[in-house]
Structure 1
Amino acid sequence: MSASAQLRRLLCLAALLLGSMQIALAEPHVDIPAQDGDADASSRAHLASDRVSDYLAQKFGVAKEKAVQISNAVRVASEKYALPPALLLAIISVESRFKEKAKGRNGATGLMQVVPSAHRPLLRNVKDLTEPDTNIEVGSAILYGYMKSAGGDLDAALKSYGGSKAYAQMVGLRAKTFAPVVEPRDSADTPWQAAQARACDARWTAVCIRPVVWLGPAVDLTENADAAPPQPMLLPGTLVPLLR
């Protein structure tokens, strides 16, 4: 083999070796969508549930496992119906003091004291109304229905749910004690963030009902207090078939 042929062969081998090294060292760049926001939101939701369950166990003597179940059910209903979790907790506190087997007048049953005879369409497939997940789901749907009928007026919805203005005021005041538990950092200014949003959120619904009168923790409920400015309300459209 001539010297020139050997040189060409060596150059080819060197080129092949260099190419192989470059391929081996190169790391493909893959764009991974950022999911930090979703992870943070999920983490905050779980932390809030933990705080609520601990509070229910300490304040109301609810068994830990049952407190976790109630806390999770409130979170699910709050997200589904765009209702503030502090509000739902306040209603349960006033209605039953978190006693799932509570019974009241007219057959009122469970945590949110749902009256079966008044809401039969919602209870067609319900086997046990004292079960926390079921009771909170149905009670939240009832409150949502009242609010929808009242054009988004939460004050009117609470009056319909409890039967009086005093009941609505009591729930509003009780919600003050739960707001810091649900969202301790923002409770002073934005305790019910979902309810106080300034615009409809496509994640929830395409329907926005105005005005809404909120009995939030920052609202003075005395007779001489100035009326709180109306706030827009997010309402999930998925419930319309359920409430017809």
Structure 2
Amino acid sequence: MRRILFALLVSFGLVTHAMADEAEPIRDASASSTSASSVPLAASEPAARMHRVSALLVRRFGLARAKAEQIAEAVMASASKYSLPPALVLSIISIESRFKENARGAHGATGLMQVVPAAHRRLVTNVDLTQPAANIEAGSAILHGYIESAQGDVTTALRAYGGSTAYARKVSVHARDFELNAAASDTGTASAASGAR
């Protein structure tokens, strides 16, 4: 499991660090007289990543493009904020709700990440868990808390989130699948770009 997490962090975790690193130059550019040409370059890579994730959601889960873009943006933002691999968040959503924002489950579990309001009252008070961004934010915060409580042990954190070792294994397999599909998208994009030259 640690090797899978390491691979996820290498391929997707760098996304979160790259996004954090790129966010600062964008703020500086708007606040100072930095050349305008540096802003589009810094902003284009996170946008390209979100586009690849949303295209994957359209292709694999049949989401409408606007909904896929909304979910991809929320996943990338929460993954960056909580230092989670986006593939891990996507994996949980795919297992918990199959990307259906109005999904309902046992014990009042609600939304994309099947957040249980009764178990997380302080975190979700006055939050509409059927809204993708709010649900992904709450679910990511919960997962991050479990990872911290488990001193970085993602398997233990996933067991706490989903209730079993089998769940943790399933999330890991799905996360690896998301990682491989994203890598294939990157390769396909690179091949198409080189073929266009």
Compute the TM-score of the two structures, normalised by the length of structure 2: 0.72
Q: Kindly indicate whether residue 150 of structure 2 is the aligned counterpart of residue 150 of structure 1.
A: yes
In structure 1, what is the equivalent of residue 61 of structure 2?
60
Tell me: CA distance 1:119–1:63, structure 2 relative to 1, closer, same or farther (3 Å): same
| Kept in 2: contact 1:75–1:85 (CA 8 A) | yes
If asked which structure has higher relative contact order (CA below 8 Å, sep 6+), I would say: 2
Q: For the residues of structure 2 that align with 1:35 and 1:95, how far apart are their CA atoms? A: 43
* Unaligned segments of structure 2, at least 5 residues: 1-32, 188-197
Q: Which amino acid aligns with 1:50?
A: H
| Kept in 2: contact 1:48–1:183 (CA 8 A) | no
SS of residue matched to 2:152: coil
1:102 Cα deviation after fit: 0.5
1:63 Cα deviation after fit: 1.3
Q: For the residues of structure 1 that align with 2:184 and 2:37, how far apart are their CA atoms? A: 22
Could you report, residue by residue, the CA deviation over 1:115-173 in whole angstroms, capped at 9, with x for unpaired residues?
000000001231x1110000000000000011111111111100100001110100000
Identity fraction in percent:
52
| Kept in 2: contact 1:48–1:181 (CA 8 A) | no
* Unaligned segments of structure 1, at least 5 residues: 1-31, 188-244
In structure 1, what is the equivalent of residue 110 of structure 2?
109
Q: How many matched pairs?
A: 155
Compute the TM-score of the two structures, normalised by the length of structure 1: 0.59
1:182 Cα deviation after fit: 3.9
Q: Which amino acid aligns with 2:63?
A: V
| Kept in 1: contact 2:52–2:185 (CA 8 A) | no
Q: For the residues of structure 1 that align with 2:185 and 2:97, how far apart are their CA atoms? A: 28
Q: How is 1:191-202 mapped onto 2 (pairs within 5 angstroms)?
A: none
In structure 2, what is the equivalent of residue 170 of structure 1?
170
Q: Output the aligned Cα RMSD.
A: 2.2
> More helix per residue: 1 or 2?
2
In structure 1, what is the equivalent of residue 126 of structure 2?
125
- When Rg is computed on C-alpha atoms for both structures, the one with the higher figure is 1
Tell me: CA distance 1:150–1:44, structure 2 relative to 1, closer, same or farther (3 Å): same
In structure 1, what is the equivalent of residue 83 of structure 2?
82
Aligned structure 1 segments of 4 or more residues deviating by more than 2 angstroms: 32-42, 180-187
Q: Which amino acid aligns with 2:67?
A: K
